[in-house]
Structures are given as structure tokens and as C-alpha cells.
Chain A
Amino acid sequence: MSGDLRSGRIVIVGASLAGLRAAEALRDEGFTGSLTLVGDEPHLPYDRPPLSKQVLLGRARAEECGLPARRALQARWRLGVGAVGVDTAGKRVLLADGEQVPYDRLLIATGTRARPWPDPGEAALDGVFTVRTVGDASRLAERLDAGPRRVLVIGAGFTGSEIASACRERGLAVTVAERGRAPLIGALGGTVGAWATKLQLAHGVDLRCGVTVSALKGENGRLTGAEFSDGSRIDADVAVVALGAVRNTEWLADSGLAAGPRGVACDAGCRVFDMYGIVSDDVFVAGDVARFPHPLFEYQLIALEHWGNAVAQAEVAAHNMVSSGPHRRPHLSVPAFWSSQFGLNIKSVGVPTFSDQVVIAQGAPEERRLVAVYGYRGRVTAAVAVNRAKWLEHYQRLIETAAPFPPGPGAADFVDGSEPVPSDVPDPRVLSHGPTVALTGHLPDRRLTLLRPGG
């Protein structure tokens, strides 16, 4: 049976991290059939995390962030052309140039794109940027090299905070505007958000929370400044829009698959549901565009915009594309991500937004190191470490074993007098930045549905 599955035609749409790692895993697993990678970007696969870090710090060029090959693929690469549809009955992918690519099994790995500034006229001003692609980062880095007088960062999620950090490190004046109460609050809740507020202020960021940018101002097509909802205004010659991501699912609109603004829904084995909720055997999904059930989080469909998830899910999808029934594996890895900003290493395991309480387990908010542990209904569901990466393995085990929250002392050098407090994860609608972990299922007592921004 699985002999058949090791041959035939596999098409992967999206030639970035998830697509590449799936292709490599397919060959590792003994797939000998034809392999086609379709990608709408003209570039060979590259890594995005450095785009808001090394590249903006001027330590690497955006064009030099290509991903290394783990092995040779013997694949057909169709780059610079997007898929515009899929005919699941006829089993073919339709490309923008008219080509139809037949498949036996299809992997969807089209990821996300930067959410654009809602006003197209203002977005088109010279000096307004987003950061998702090589081109984006390359243009922004060039502009930062030129020494702008002030950079406005709109949205204080991870990407926005990293951009602000890079600018400050380069000595540039930075204003950060965030509609929520604090930076990172959408992904990490109020306690770490309050800590991140102090961090940004200590690094000289002009941080403005609880406000929205009501207009970007320009003159002769060039950005000159911005106006805020509280009536204040600033002069700025660069604005970086960091309002989170939009899932690339439009091309699947007529496919009959369960694809929409929240992503492409699949089972724990990465098999895509059709619009009736029936799982398919020949269409799979992995990476930022996927939403999948996770048993540690009550089988809610979660969407993770994390590097590690793209890698792990791609490997599971690839395995299941060449394996039959009982040999298939679930995608169960505990979510994890990192960010580096203001010289600090921030790492997370579990899903901090899946929580009702949080406790500072190590360090203190005033220090440049910290471990925050999150719980939901009396069990540990996540931990976030700042310059304390070595501890995360420990907390990962607590998450995997549904250990009681708050975790006992002994587990860590508990901070005296530190008591659990509400984790204070806001409704995503009040944030400027989309949280990078979105629980898109429903809990009876909470509203955690990812919504498209109201503007």
C-alpha cells in the first residue's frame, strides 16, 4: 500500500520554509515520484526571521537570507508564478500563467502575507513599509541606512517590536504606536506586556499605547508624519506597518476546501477538511496557513505563525503523504517560538494565550531576565523565558504532562511572594498587531476568535 504512496505526483504550493522542508522530508521518506514546487515569489526559498533582525541591524543583506538545502530534491521548481485555483475533483492546480499541474497528492504551504495599511493611498506613500519579503526588508534596510529622522512603527507585536529594537540599536528615533495596552500583549498577556512596556521605554522608544494611527500624512508622495487618535501628531519619514498577517487562502476560494481568512483547516495529520468538514486523503497543509486541532489545547483549531511549527508540521505532512492509515503520525509538538529584541532572547513554549493565569516564576519584572508560567484551569499551558532559555525544556515537560498550575517551588527558584495573577489576554480586536498565536476555536467562557481588524 505505502509502496504506491512513494510514487506518483506530488505538488507543493508555496516554496518557502514549510514547502521546502516538506519536499526534503518527502525524499527522506523515500518518495521517488515527481515533485513540483510552485511559488509566486521569484526567489529561491529564504528565511524570514532574519529580515526583522540581522537585516535591519545591517549585519546581513536581505538577498542573502536563502535557506540551506538539507539534501538534493530532483524537483521541478515553478517560481515567480502563483497558483490561482485547485480543482480537487480533477486533481489539478491552476497556475496564473494558464498551466495546469496535475497531482496525486497536494500540499498547501502558502503561508501568510503582511497585513497592509488599510488606506491604499497612504500605504503608497514613499516611506511606508511592511516587512514580510526579501524586497520589503531590503528596501527598508536601505532607507534606515540613509538615516531617517524618525521611524514610526505601527503595531507592537513581535515583528513591530523587533523593528523598533533594530532602529534604536542604530541610534534612530522611533515612535511605536499600539492600539492595545502594551507591546506583545496579544501573544503574551498583560504581565509580560507590562514588562515589555518598561523595556521599550528604557531603550528610548517613544511608545504610545492605547492609540491608533488615524492618518499617515504625505507631501508630494512622500511620507511626512502621522496623526493619532488622541489628536497628537508626529513628523516621521519612515513608517513600518506591523499589523500582523493575512493568510494566503484567496486562491482556494472556489476549491471546496475549508479555507478562509483564518486559514486552511486540517486534522491532526495535516489532512485538509473540505467545506463540509469531511477530511480529504490527498490534500494536505502545513505552516503558517494551517489551522489544526491540538490535544494539549482542548482540540481547538490553532494557527501558529512560528518557524518551528512550519518545520515540524511540514515533516508530519510529508510523512503522512507517503504513509497509509495506521502509519500516519499526528502533529503534536508543543508550540515554540523565539524572538530577539533589545539584546534579549525571548522564547516561548506552549500557547500563552490559552491561559487564565500567569505567575512570574523566576527573575523579576525589573530584571533583564524572566520566566513567566501560564496556566489554564489549574494546569500549566505555556511558559515564556527572557534570557533564561535553558529553563524552557523543564516547562515543556510540565505542559506535556498537564502538570498542575501554579507549578510547585522546587520546579524552579520561585520568586518570593509571586502569586498567580490573571493572564489578561485581551480580545484580539483591541490590538493593532495580530497575535502570532491565534486560537480560532471556541471556549465557552472566553472569546479568542481571531477576527479581521476593524481598521
Chain B
Amino acid sequence: MVKMKGKLKDLMTRSGILFSLASMVLALILCAVVIGILGYSPLEAYRAMVKGAFGNSYNISQTIGIAVPLIFSGLSMAIASKVGVFNIGIEGQMLVGSFAAALAGYYIKGLPMFIHLPLSLLCGIMMGGLWALIAAELRNFLHINEVILTIMLNYVAQYVVSYMVNFPFKAEGNVVRTEYVQDSARLAILVPHTRLSSGIFLALIVAIVLAIVLKRTKFGYELRAVGTNPLAAQSAGINQKKYIRLAMFISGALAGLGGAGEVLGYCGYYIPSMTQGYGFDGIAIATMGQNNPIGTVVSAFLFGALRNGAAGMNQSTSIPGELIEVLEALIILFVSTPGIFKYIKKQMKARKAGK
């Protein structure tokens, strides 16, 4: 029993779950202070948020629905981080992925669903993956910093896609968007009138597969080695460039799949700004999930709940939903600054010793 307890504790600390939870709690407390200072009731705010996220079956479905693209962008970030690359280009990769899926979903006609749907998803996957690959190869061969590269590629993606949806591929009517995709390319909606599609199963399966691959296969082993000690990996005969290439492709592919899922599941077409910064949320989500696929799924659900809860809070109270962004920022701050916790721990110890 004691041993089991020890093991559990070990597991918790090792994967940093405790640490992430603590960050979350601390952020919630601090955000409550901010809400209070702004003259609102923190209690009311959080109550409204919980209600907005989990209040009824509709809200719950929406929360899970929002989590789907967040899971993909979180996983996308996680795998790039595992190989030691900071992929800030997820937003752009999602964009091109969703646009490619929208085109494939509309222009390819007359195919049965079991071919058309996977094919459309695949278009999103490939487009996102190739987009990320540009950054990987530029880093590998020209040694350009990937952060700058991926940020630049975000802009390129945004403007290129924006042009395409405004001119050559614009749908009939006043709204700037693409045409509805064929029914044969739609993901099934699980709860009517919500955004919760069968994309959730896709997301969960991908996360589990990724977890197994990272932990149990040669591919994951070598990838992690490259990510933490590139020199040790080199000495062990592992090809660093190959893994940066592969991991970035997968990272982009996951982002692209996330984008495709939004088009084929939720919207039915591509519309500018549909990714709503999901790509950037991926950074926080993966960090909070300690770059662990399962942890990332959990943290994506939490972020989904925050987003949906904020929407609820916006509607039912006078408290501005933008406060949620303060909360997200605080979480990121705490998760990415372990030093803060070390400091707090030290202070607590000092106080104990003083007594």
C-alpha cells in the first residue's frame, strides 16, 4: 500500500501533473483577485463559468466540441517540442489544412463517404504537414531559427488563403467563405445543434496512438533522444535532421487535421478566422500537458471548458469574457516558469523553519 502510494506520487511528480494542477489553481486564485479589483465578484464569475461550460448537456457538448481542435493543436505543439523544435506555426498549418480540406470536400464529387471523407481529411493532413516541412527544411539546411520561420509562415498562410477565399474560391453570396462541402465529406454531428462531431473520436485515437508511439517505439525513443540531448543522440547513431523533419511533418499534419476537422465537422466550409487562435492555444495546452499526449488531451478539455465557460459568463453576467484571456495568460506564465514554484516552496520552508 505504502509502496503503491509512493509509486503514484512518483508518477504524479514525474509527469509534472501536480505541477500543472498547481499552476492552474494559482492562476485561478490570481485571476479571482484581478476580477475582484475590477469590481466584479469572483465567485459569481467562476460560477457563471462553470455553468457555461458544464451547466447542461448542450454546454457540455459545446465544451467537448471546442476541445477537439484544441487537442489537435496541443498534440501538434507537443510532438514538435518533444524533438526540440518550437513550432509557433500551428495556426498557419491549421489554416492551410482547413482550406485544403474545404476544397477537397467541395470539388471532389461523386465519391462514396468512406472514400471522400478520409480523402478530404488527408488533404488537410498533407497540406498542414508540408507547410510545416518548409520550416523544418529551412532550419535543417540553412540553420534559420524555426520560431522566426514559423511566425513568417503564419503570415504567408494567412494572406495566401485570404486571397484564395476572397477571389478564386469564394462561394456565391455576400459572406466571404468557400462553398459547403459535399455531404459525403462531412463528419457526423454527435449531438444535434452542437459543434460536437465524431472528430472527437479521431482526436482521442490520435492522442492514444501518439502516446504509444512516443513511449514504446524506436521512432519515439529516437525522437525523444534528439529532443533532449541532440549530442547524445548523435553519438548513439541517431540522425537528428531526419527526426526534426519527421516530427515537424507530423506536427503540421496534426494541425492540418485539426483544421480539416473544423471544416468537415463544425462549419461545413472554410471561413476566414475560423481557427480563432486555436493554433496559439496549442502552445499553452501542450505546456500545461507537459508535452505528454494524454496530459495534452486533459489540458485541452480544460481550455475548452474555459473558452466555453467564458462565452457563458459573457452572456449571463456583465463580467467581460475577455477575462478568460487573463486567466489563460496566467496559466501559461505559471506553467512555463517553474522557478516561481521553487521560490514559493523555499519561502514556505523558511517560514516553517522560522517557527
Is this pair of chains taken from one and the same complex? no
Using CB atoms and an 8 Å cutoff, list the residues of chain B in contact with chain A.
none
